[in-house]
Amino acid sequence: VHRIMCIVYLIAFLFSLTSEQCSSKLMEDSSQSFMERMHTGKTSFIYFGNHVNPTIKLFMEQLEMSADALQDYGISVVKVNCSKDAIANYCTGEKLMTKAYLFRGSEVLRSFDIDTVFDVNAIVSHVLFSVLFNEVRYVHTPAELLRVESTAKQNSDIVVGHIPVLGLPEHRALMEAAFVYGTKYQFVQTSGTLVLKHMGVVDLSSSQARLWFLHCKGVSRRSDPCPSTPMRKPLNTINIHTFLQLMEAPLTESVLDPSEVDVVHLHLGVPVLYLFSQPQTQHLDRATAQTLGLQLRGEVGVVLIHRDNPNVKTSLKYNAAYRLPQEDVKYFTLNSAEGVVKLFKEELLQEQKLENEEEDEEHWSDLDILDDEVSESVYRDRDLMLDLESVIELTSDTFQITVTQDDITVVLFYFKWDAVCMAFIQSYIEVADALEGMNGVKLAAVNCGEWTDICSDQNVTSFPTVLIYRPMAAAQLYRGMLGTKSLHRFILLSLGSSPYILSSSAEVMSFLEGDLYSKHMYLTPVKVLGLFSSTHDMGVTSFEEAARLLRGESILGLFAHKEMIHVWTSEVEGLSVNLPALLVSRGPGVPYEVYSLPSSSPTDLVSLIKQVELDRFPELTVENLPWYLELGKPLLLLFIGKEDSTESTKALAEIKQPLSSGQLDSFLPCWIHLGRTPVGRSILEKYLGFVPPLPVLVMSQLKTGEEVFLFPPERPLMAKNILQWIHDVENGQEQPAGLIPDGKWGPPVPFFDFLAIMDQEAPTYAVQRAPKMKTGGREDHRENKHVTPNQKQTPHPSSNPQAPRQHSEL
């Protein structure tokens, strides 16, 4: 049972990033609790110390992190403060503070110098190796390995790991795999070159960690060697798990076309070879498939498809096909088994390997210069000339004349040396090209590196900044995403009135469902109508100001006539309104939604309007995600692949049933279309560690923790089953399938603190050359301060303080 629980914990660790820990798992024992621990019989890793110096402080930080990791394996990590509780035999002598001990009950399994267990990977790997001492065999010579093979034949397969240096992440990955799969496979560890040579490695000078799978279980004769399959990917936890999964599935059989076959290899990112079997040659075809499966095992999955099933509609001119990760199926004619092996090993797999190596080389060469993806994109396009023909370049002489004309003027303020500016200006040019020839709007730009006076006068302090100028109105700040689609939509919505003043029932219907609605339907189907008893209502002024703040983001109308409103609402079936109110229309055929409108400030109205615009069952996109997350509700999230597929349509309909009855009011039911929002696939993989067959329903963002729950794939995705599953999750009867990844978003490489490096190399260098300045006859020794280039700047005054600032779809 303990093993099974550990497998569950480790699988979650394999495929998800650990969420930020709320509390440390490192325990501190007193004399009494230490003695009690000695009688439990449980495994503990304990450090005894009496004070903290810089070296010990670093070790304690690693010890604290290891407590979180080892807890999943039932091992407690403990510290004892010998200054408070002097424990005999451990809190005295020269070994104090330099040793850590692994206990099982009161028995010391092993002691470690803290130089050996120097970080979390070293602690976890050494502790697990000690715990698994009787299960993981350590061999020095080929003869010792052959004796292990001889014992394993007909009983179990063997996993051999060569770890050149103990205590590194590769060592930890092997030990964690041994803890999980140790009852299934015999694990062997070695660190010498003799075994490497025995396994056929030519370059013995390489310090690379390696792994092999020895197929001993199927070997019946003691004299026969165990066939071996090398793992060709870097030795880490995920790759080991993937590799072992592939060892268990060399051949799969199916009665579906290749594009419909769902095998584990697709989820593991491994190429798949499809072979078609004819009824008259079925035994020969299966033998060929098994041979190829063994030859390509660990690198390619092999699927045998039986043509005698009517579901197989592939043309008879093809007898084979293959599918590379993230690509479509490609069909070909197989002439020989050797030709297929050559196709994969010498061409397709080598092409993938070269592509990965080229990507790695480009990645690391760029990291020598750049810190983020935006800078990288600008660096790659540094030789491209920007065509600013469709954008008016403003100067001090032309700025005021241009922005005070009758047209709407959109102005981009930028710096040429700023990476984000140069990336966004390409999108800005695309918008200008799309709007070229449209009356009433023009796009311009100001280079703040040359015309600093303009940027200072307009109070522009962050870059890039987009302001919209209209005659006789204050400039409006664009707060949308820095991309072509978002800016283009914002400008088109800005061309209309905000709010539209409506004076009759006919105009109201035109705004909600008629000609005026059709004019903006492709930009947004949602319209918000403010209903007031008269234009003298105190809330009208606030609504008009809120509409001005939301110009370009929402379409708002104003209808202020009590008698006409009652006449109009009486004509609409089931509609009852108490003034003042907000009426939301989501398009023809969708029932109107009515919300009471309390007396409030324009900024509060902005928040209210943005909330009522949100869909009750939205499709999540990069653009709208921040608004929905602000609701603070747990997500009931459906991932679909093809919206028009039978499974997806049925899943969407099943969730809408309890939604319409109010049974899901405490959740945010939503869905992601992986075709339109490809990042959804990455989200799903981060949640669960793999991409299961779609559609798939998950629950996340719970207030009780960072767990992610997966709707059981074996249960039909029906309304009653969904409600029962939610009930089970809330009552703690469901186990989480993963954890929400850490929300921190830092740079891909750490910043270099050059001043600190200088201090380490030459401690007195900077002090000796500190500038001396005379101030009023006194020497003022100014301190050298390390100022980062990313200092926080004062934001531009916002016309919409409630809207979240969304940066970059670049």
Average pLDDT, rounded, for the chain: 78
203-250 pLDDT, tens digit each: 776 778 999 999 998 888 888 889 888 988 889 988 898 888 888 767
50-96 pLDDT, tens digit each: 777 767 888 888 899 999 889 888 899 999 988 888 888 888 776 66
Q: Bridge-partner residues for 302, per DSSP?
A: 251, 273
715-743 pLDDT, tens digit each: 888 888 888 888 888 888 888 888 776 66
Buried b (16+ CB within 10 A) or exposed e, 592-605: bebeebeeeebbeb
The pTM of the full predicted model, rounded to 2 decimals, is 0.47
SS3 category, 60: helix
Q: What is the pLDDT of residue 702?
A: 65
**Residue 17: which pLDDT band, with cuts at 50, 70 and 90?**
very low
How far is 37 from 630, CA to CA, in rounded Å?
46
Interhelix angle for 120-131 vs 169-181, to 10°? 40
- What would the 3-class secondary structure string for 101-168 be? EEEECCEEEEEEECCCCCCHHHHHHHHHHHHCCCCEEECCCHHHHHHHHHHHCCCCCEEEEECCCCCC
What string of DSSP letters covers 191-242?
Answer: -SHHHHHHTT-S-TT----EEEEE--TT--STTSPPPEEE--S---HHHHHH
Which percentage of the chain shows pLDDT scores above 70?
Answer: 79
The residue-averaged pLDDT of 350-365 equals 48
The residue-averaged pLDDT of 596-603 equals 84
360-388 pLDDT, tens digit each: 444 444 334 444 555 555 555 554 556 67
Q: Is 669 left (phi over 0), alpha (psi -120 to 50) or beta?
A: beta
The residue-averaged pLDDT of 422-429 equals 87
535-572 pLDDT, tens digit each: 888 888 899 999 898 888 888 989 888 777 776 776 66
Q: Which two tokens stand for residue 311?
A: 């579901």
